[in-house]
Amino acid sequence: MSTDKPNLITCIVQRGHADKVVDRAIAAGAEGATIYYGRGRGVREKLGILGRLIKPEKEVILIITKPEETDAVFDAVVAGANLEEEGKGFAFLHKLDRAVGFLS
């Protein structure tokens, strides 16, 4: 068993933006991604009338990376989703203890 453990990058963006983010991640070395749909709650309700400007529909992107690819792929996700701009979404990194079925 390899001592190099894979990582999971999770990114949540407005609906319709995931393909661009995944394209950038793959160009940076990711082998692929899973995209699914979600609905955000919390911030919209707290903003009252201004919250109507925030669409609740989201796309959730999951990307498994090898340790040596993680930083480049994470940076590509941040750039592809414009996450440095407030309100564009967010991304976070999980260290995985075990995984099976991918990453040779």
Spacing of C-alpha 64 from chain mean position: 10
Tens digit of each residue's pLDDT (9 = 90 or more) over 35-94: 999 987 766 666 666 666 667 789 999 999 999 999 999 999 999 999 998 878 999 999
Q: List the domain boundaries for the chain.
A: 7-95
Cβ partners under 8 Å of residue 36, min gap 6:
59, 60, 62
Mean pLDDT over each residue of the chain, to the nearest integer = 87
Q: Which helix (H) or strand (E) holds 14?
A: strand 7-14
Whether domain 7-95 has CATH 3.30.70.120:
yes
- Does residue 46 sit in helix, strand or coil? helix
pTM score, two decimals? 0.85
The per-residue DSSP string of 54-77 comes to S--EEEEEEEEE-GGGHHHHHHHH
Tell me the pLDDT band of 13, cut-offs 50, 70 and 90.
very high
Structural tokens at position 88: 């564009």
